[in-house]
Amino acid sequence: MARANCCIDFSDLPDNEFSGPLKGIIAAAYSLGAILSLPFVGIINDRFGRRWAIFGGSAVMVLGALIQGFSVNGNAYTRVVF
């Protein structure tokens, strides 16, 4: 949650688009996405090896960060966090 609160001043957005509850949903979506990926981690590690699994996870995180950086509204940002 600190990631969504500390970096951007949301008060200057039109209609205060990022309200307090939306910030909470963004933080929860990040954790929920991590939890939902857990059943697949072992399968991917067994199939491709630990090195390639870490590389793939890092690539997904970088791609997600780029999309978050260029998102134009709260809805798009929340979808990418998940």
* Helix (H/G/I), strand (E/B), else coil: 38: helix
31-39, long-range: CB < 8 A, 24+ apart: 32/82, 33/81, 33/82
The pLDDT profile of the chain, 82 residues, written as one tens digit per residue, is: 445 545 555 555 555 566 677 777 777 877 887 888 888 888 988 999 999 999 998 998 888 888 878 877 777 777 776 6
What residue segments make up the domains of the chain, in order of their start? Answer: 18-81
CA angle 6, 11, 13 (to 5 degrees): 110
CA angle 2, 9, 76 (to 5 degrees): 75
> 22 and 76 in contact (C-beta within 8 Å)?
no
Amino acid identity of residue 70, one-letter, is F
